[in-house]
Amino acid sequence: MTLNLTDARPALTSLTEQERMFQEATRDFAETEVAPKVMDMDRAQAIDPDIIRQLFELGLMGVEVPEHYGGAGADFFASVLIVEELSRVDPSVAVLADVQNTLVVNALLRWATQDQLARHLPRLASDMIGSYALSEVGSGSDAFALRCMARSEGDDWVLDGRKMWITNAAEAGLFIVFATVDPDAGYRGITAFLVDRDAEGFSVGKKEDKLGIRASSTCELILDGVRVSGDEVLGEVGHGYKVAIETLNEGRIGIGAQMLGLAQGAFDHTVRYVQEREQFGRTIGSFQAVQFELAEMATEIEAARLLVYNAARLKKAGESFAVKGAMAKLFASEMAQRVASRCIDLHGGYGFTTEYPVEKLYRDAKIGTIYEGTSNMQKQTIAKVLMR
């Protein structure tokens, strides 16, 4: 008996020609260029510079950047498709592109001045990685309890403090840093600043040694009297909380896509494996118990895909999507852990070794319920609307 669930993803007739082009090009790139380097990058805890170069060359790092700034001029849904396809092969590479597109570029497109767009978007589309620096030691789920300070000096701002667990920090050239200009004002004192990596007093500190997505850099940032021009305030002074909330609402759809792609990748590997592995004189995929496992996983993956795509479509259409995005991230991240774990089980002893890709995908899945808002924070977002 031959199973045909490996590529059970539906044909999306509603994709635009540009979206389909990005999806197919990303899938080809991931399978031919990224896949052979996945485990080496995981062991080295760094993304191969050649992979980063190709991401830029393919336009995958400036998906929504307008063409006149050197970007692809595509839409948010294209970004989601790219993250999904990269995650099928390596969620570490996917999160590099995800943060670039759904957080950094999206924040600039929504909040930056024309001068800021002209100065930063061409670089972000061509050769510069961006990073989003919100979290601190005492400011995780309570994102607005941050202690990083910004004081006014003439037309400039001077930043002091530390940021923790910042994705893309090792490679980034531009950072969106959140600091408070008035601790007594609470969240109304928070302001977003565009900080250059080469700014005096700015440095990237400890790189975390992580359980999963090990090739993706996660680092501490140290700001010691970093002087930032008043022209580099993103949005308005005291409106950083709006920048953070609205950007993270979009970013959560990207994480949902990452977890969706991860689960699909683990599932694809497993379907191939159960049609090759023999026990009791037959392939294990011919046993009904295994087939039922696959059917349940395929259903969960498809449910997550519909949630993620729906949230992305709503965002693209300019409609309210915050709750749908929270649902997508909540379900997809928890689904990815369940699916990756079951895929390990179906691989048996081999699944517990680094010889097969599911081991890495299982480790990578854990972060989904933590970053860009824990599962409990997603539930809180959803419940607030339900209880109105």
Map residue 2 onto helix, strand or coil: coil
Phi then psi dihedrals of residue 159, to 5 deg? -105, 135
pLDDT by 10s per residue, the chain, length 388: 445 444 445 445 578 999 999 999 999 999 999 999 999 999 999 999 999 999 999 999 999 999 999 999 999 999 999 999 999 999 999 999 999 999 999 999 999 999 999 999 999 999 999 999 999 999 989 988 999 999 999 999 999 999 999 999 999 999 999 999 999 999 999 999 999 999 999 999 999 999 999 999 999 999 999 999 999 999 999 999 999 999 999 999 999 999 999 999 999 999 999 999 999 999 999 999 999 999 999 999 999 999 999 999 999 999 999 999 999 999 999 999 999 999 999 999 999 999 999 999 999 999 999 999 999 999 999 999 999 8
7-20 per-position pLDDT tens digit: 445 445 578 999 99
Residue with tokens 């440095």: 203
Map residue 171 onto helix, strand or coil: coil
**Among candidate residues 92, 83, 74, 77, the one with its CA nearest the CA of residue 35:** 92
CB-CB neighbours of 261 under 10 Å: 30
Predicted pLDDT at 14: 79
Class of domain 131-238: mainly beta
What CATH number does the domain located at 242-386 have? 1.20.140.10
Residue with tokens 């910004």: 150
How many residues can be counted in the chain?
388
Predicted pLDDT at 144: 83
Radius of gyration for the chain, computed over Cα atoms and rounded to the nearest angstrom = 21
Degrees to nearest 5, angle at CA 313 with 131 and 25: 65
174-206 per-position pLDDT tens digit: 999 999 999 999 999 999 999 999 999 999 999
Predicted pLDDT at 12: 53
**Cα–Cα distance for residue pair 246/229, rounded to 1 Å:** 24
Phi then psi dihedrals of residue 312, to 5 deg? -65, -40
Domains in the chain: boundaries: 17-128, 131-238, 242-386
Class of domain 17-128: mainly alpha
**Cα–Cα distance for residue pair 55/63, rounded to 1 Å:** 11
DSSP 104-131: IIHHHHHH--HHHHHHHHHHHHHT--EE
Residues with active-site annotation:
372
State the alpha helices, DSSP H only, in the chain.
17-29, 38-44, 49-57, 76-89, 91-98, 106-111, 114-126, 240-274, 288-316, 322-347, 358-365, 375-386
Map residue 222 onto helix, strand or coil: strand
pTM for the full predicted model:
0.95
112-126 per-position pLDDT tens digit: 999 999 999 999 999
